[in-house]
Amino acid sequence: SWDITSDSLAAWLVGKLGANTLLLIKQTGAFFGSDTIDGLAVRGIVDAGFTAMLPDGVDFHLAGPKDAAEAGALLASGNLPGIRIAAPIRSARKAG
């Protein structure tokens, strides 16, 4: 199944490493600053398991082909290519 791909594995790894930022570089540019992670999953831009795997508080950025030309310079200067995608609003988790 394609419910879990390298997208979700990257989100899981961010949590294991304790990183605070995740940048995914995709083959499509069909995403916008107004997109949500859930919306990206519905459209197949990230896999279905991504939302559940991305830890709370991780700053998620998405880049595509249009970002390739400036990606090297941005990364070298400590900045990320692409756009920041808003984190999902999760309901409070039940204890126990």
The model's pLDDT over 4-31, given as tens digits with 9 standing for 90+, comes to 999 999 999 999 999 999 999 999 999 9
Residues 73-94 pLDDT 10s: 999 999 999 999 987 666 554 4
d(CA 47, CA 96): 29
| pTM of the predicted structure, to 2 decimals | 0.85
